[in-house]
Amino acid sequence: MSKFDLPRATRDFLPGETAARNLVRAAFVQSAEAYGFQEIQTPIFEHVELFSARSGPEIKSSMLTFHCDNEEFALRPEMTAPVCRLMSSGLLDLNHLPHKFSYFGPCFRYTRPQSGRYREFLQAGIECLGASGPEVDAEIIAASARTLSSLGIENFNLRIGNIGIFRDLMPDDFDVEEWATVIGHLDRLNGIHEKCRLLAERPDESLLSDLRIDRMELATLQEQTEYTGPYAIADASHLDVTQYASKIGAEAEATFRRLWEVEESIPAETAELLIQISRLRGPVQRVREEAFSLLRGSSSTAALENLFAVCEAVEMYGVDNLNVALGIARGFTFYTSTVFEITSGLADGDRLYCGGGRYDRLVELFGGPPMPSIGCAFRFDTLVEAFCNANAWEQSRPHEIFLLSETKEKLHHAVQFSEELRKCGLRVGVGVGKPTSNRVSDLATHKTDVLAYMGASDSLQLLYAEAEEKAPLDAASVSDRVKSFRNR
């Protein structure tokens, strides 16, 4: 029972977990590098103003902040703002764009604990700053998908959308706040559609209770907007399970349609179009036809063409599991066109591995030059978990060989020899004892692959799991023996 507790919503990682996390990190950095994304590092804390620039001062309450010398700092809650700051810092050569960066590091948010949400978490991502075009988007998307493959995670779902399709349908005088609200609604609608789709494929109690909560909230929204119509939830308060998947989607659509007309002054036909668009989802070829016939003559055709150009470019990389999902909104106002998500697929509850999109005006917002950019971030913890599930991951013992000296007087021989073995690249432990006691067998089980007993003679007795042999006191040959044991 320790005198000190962990700060709320933080974690310790033991050697096995840490090793797995380091492997995932290494795989991430390596596959990013394979596409030319070079790793950068920025400070773990910055001036508070950097992070409130985009989101307003009230965001301060969800950051970990501190004062020093009359300055106020915040532990970074995200990596995008520092990267954009870097772009406008003058350190970078802006004549040779784009800059392709990867980043990896701890971020901090002062949030209520919730499963999978911690106050310190790792964020990993890649960004391509200063370039636009479908090929650029496709490269980011393909690189993200390859990162998952390189971790042995193969059964993922890739969904690509384009937020510009919605944006271009909005009235010209639509301001940022209204846009944020509508994006929130679209995101919500998409989520409900997604859950309904999952529920239709496999009954699941937790999905069902999620949807019940969604439905209650829809009912509240309907009440606020005085909705009356065929999908009034109050009129059909009870649904049996089989109706959930089929009916809630329509109820949600009706609710948001009404909401957009009443509270956002969106014309009825535009609201209808938003609903229709958000439904479109599936393989590229099929959705292409539906989407173009739906949006023919609208102001969104350019964004739509861009979306399918991105999909074509992604397909060149040979990425499977590609779907178009026009309903993806990703919940952030700063995305300007391409948005995408990679999830775990149905079997694992469709958990988010990675999400990102194009943000062509963000660098400017941070005081930099105009710079069309795209980036994405990984859910590192989800990635680690999936990695451990996908691979027969076993924690290694701290030592590959442990030298046991017969007596304390002879220990210096063992220590000297251990140093020679370490030069050969082995992980080596040293101790005193006979290879017979309980303590020693415990050691053998938990702490080392091979136990080596240095008795009276000038040779070593190597004790493996199910065999033993003599070996000369020669670092190179012992090292070879141990390594061949490890590899078999």
Partner RNA sequence: GCUGGCGUAGCUCAGUUGGUUAGAGCGCUUGAUUGUGGAUCAAGAGGUCCCUGGUUCGACUCCAGGCGCCAGUACCA
- Edge-to-edge order in the sheet of strand 71-75: 45-47, 71-75, 65-68
Q: Which is nearer to RNA, 117 or 202 (CB)?
A: 117
Q: How far is the CB of 329 from RNA (least distance, A)?
A: 11
Judged by CB under 7 A, the residue of 441, 469, 476, 477 near RNA is: 441
Q: Which is nearer to RNA, 334 or 393 (CB)?
A: 334
Phi first, then psi, for residue 468 (nearest 5°) are -145, 155
Decide if residue 251 touches RNA (CB under 7 A). no
Region binding RNA by CB under 7 A among candidate stretches 114-122, 300-308, 387-395, 471-479? 114-122
Judged by CB under 7 A, the residue of 332, 431, 433, 459 near RNA is: 332
Judged by CB under 7 A, the residue of 21, 24, 28, 77 near RNA is: 77
Q: How far is the CB of 13 from RNA (least distance, A)?
A: 14
Q: Which is nearer to RNA, 210 or 272 (CB)?
A: 210
Judged by CB under 7 A, the residue of 117, 286, 423, 486 near RNA is: 117
Decide if residue 111 touches RNA (CB under 7 A). yes
Q: How far is the CB of 21 from RNA (least distance, A)?
A: 18
Residues of this chain, 359-418, that bind RNA according to CB under 7 A? 397
Q: How far is the CB of 437 from RNA (least distance, A)?
A: 6
Instruction: Say how many residues touch RNA, by CB under 7 A.
Output: 52
Q: Which is nearer to RNA, 5 or 173 (CB)?
A: 5
Residue span 175-214 as binding mask against RNA, x where in contact by CB under 7 A, dash where not: ---------x------------------------xx--x-
Only one residue has tokens 């303590």, namely: 439
Residue span 19-58 as binding mask against RNA, x where in contact by CB under 7 A, dash where not: --------------------------------x--xx---
Residue span 78-97 as binding mask against RNA, x where in contact by CB under 7 A, dash where not: x-xx----------------
Binding site for RNA (CB under 7 A): 1, 5-6, 8-9, 51, 54-55, 59, 62-63, 77-78, 80-81, 109, 111-117, 184, 209-210, 213, 217, 331-332, 334, 397, 435-438, 440-442, 444-445, 448-451, 453, 461, 463-466, 468
